[in-house]
Amino acid sequence: MAARKLSRRSFLRGGAVGAMTLAAASACAYMPVDEKAVAAPEDTEPPVEPKVDGDLVYFNWADYIDPTVFKSFSKQYGVKVIQSNFDSMESMVAKMNAGNAYDVIFPSAKWAQRLIAADKLHKIDASKMVNAELIFGSYDYFADPWYDKKSAHTIPFTMYKTGIGWRKDKLGDLSGSWNDLWNAAASGRTFLLDDRDEALGMAALKLGLNVNTSKKEDLDQIVATLKDLRAHLRGFDSDDYDNLLDSKAWMTQAWSGDMTSVLWNADDPSIYSFEVAREGSPINSDCYAIPKTAAHPGTAALFIDWMLKPENAIKNINYIGYPMPVAGTEKAYEEIVASMPQCIVTVDDLKKDLNFRNGTAAAEQARDAAWTDVKAG
């Protein structure tokens, strides 16, 4: 396996500020939504079906599709792939709001829900896709996910969880709890992700609270817990794998997918490990989606179906280090993380309902204020 350095989520540092800036500037359609109160608007347009209707204008995190998969798709269907990239969900939406048209985008689950509520996404007819059953027939969670009723507008792309990455040569074995972040032996060499939901969510789970809580009494406890941890921290930084590889971190809150970059780039991968806390691990997913402004929605649907072919999904898993919920690909990811099996995301993990979700505007403001308090010290 060639050395690779991938951490698209390192761009998420400061994400809460970005979200507020975007909302204030122009994106009222993407303000936080109350998922219990907001349903997808009535959409009478027929769903998109896979067919060639032009070249593919692709918009994703940089370097998140194996180039050989693009090449084989272009050769198979006689189309060009025109690539553009974003470095955050906020910048993705900002470029869409600015009038840029893309055929296929890759929102996280939270952002997919916002786009659906704003009537920005085409419906997709998965029944017309040859390979969609490889997802929906084996990962029934995605048949009706919380962010997209009946998966009418999205197809799942990747899955990942949050835990603790650490250096076994420095710290030995850990206990399997978020309490491990308070390990005195790692004091001054411990990092938390510079991500509002991840930091607040970790403390919430440690305290036995809802991962998305916005209650004042809960947030007060969470802030106190994180301020107590600050004495042990070197800092907040979402460059989780680089900090481990550069020895700045002996322990860090980490995304499971980024730990594959540690395995692929470490001189001695055996000294690193990853654990999922018994109090609970946040689970997240990204999606394929087709904007209503797409000039070539049929080609986009065809590309999504192409990505769901097991041989293409396996190539991509081996390229990005994140699992894809496509039946027949599980072994490929298990082999990558054989020394870190807790990176594996299972159907049961998905059903634990530990996703970061959209809240009301008031709830998001309360969480922003708590995060600001934590960062201020």
Q: How big is the chain by its Cα radius of gyration, in Å?
A: 20
Q: Each residue of 240-281: pLDDT tens digit?
A: 999 999 999 999 999 999 999 999 999 999 999 999 999 999
Closest CA to 92 of 103, 82, 106, 81: 106
**Residues 347-357: what's their mean pLDDT?**
92
pTM: 0.88
**What is the residue type of 309?**
K
Does position 64 have pLDDT exceeding 60, yes or no? yes
Does position 50 have pLDDT exceeding 90, yes or no? yes
Give how far the C-alpha of residue 236 lies from the chain's centroid of Cα atoms, to the nearest Å.
18
Closest CA to 205 of 283, 134, 103: 283
Q: Which domains are delineated in the chain?
A: 8-159+286-338 (3.40.190.10), 162-282+356-376 (3.40.190.10)
Query: What is the per-residue burial (b if ≥16 Cβ within 10 Å, else e) of 20-31?
Result: eebbeeebebbb
Calculate the dihedral angle through the C-alpha atoms of 363, 364, 370, 376, rounding to the nearest 10 degrees. Answer: -160
What 8-state DSSP symbol labels residue 104? B
What 8-state DSSP symbol labels residue 360? -
Confidence of residue 39 (pLDDT cuts 50, 70, 90): low
Does position 10 have pLDDT exceeding 80, yes or no? no
Counting other chains too, the contacts that 220-224 makes at CB distance below 8 Å and 24 or more residues apart are 222/370, 223/370, 223/373, 223/374
Give how far the C-alpha of residue 48 lies from the chain's centroid of Cα atoms, to the nearest Å.
25
Task: Report DSSP letters for 109-170, one per residue.
Answer: HHHHHHHHHTT-B--B-GGG-SSTHHHHTT-GGGGS-TTSGGGSSEEEEEEEEEEEEEEHHH
**What is the residue type of 86?**
F
In this prediction, residue 377 carries a pLDDT of 80
Entry field: residues in the chain: 377
3-state DSSP percent of the chain in helix, strand and coil, to 5 = 45, 15, 40
Strand (E) or helix (H) holding 275: strand 272-275
In this prediction, residue 44 carries a pLDDT of 75
Cα–Cα distance, 360 to 351 (Å, whole number): 23
* Neighbouring residues of 145: CB distance < 8 A, sequence distance ≥ 6: 109, 151, 154, 156, 285
Q: Each residue of 147-180: pLDDT tens digit?
A: 999 999 999 999 999 999 999 999 999 999 999 9
Cα within 13 Å of Cα(75), Cβ side: 6
Cα–Cα distance, 70 to 58 (Å, whole number): 10
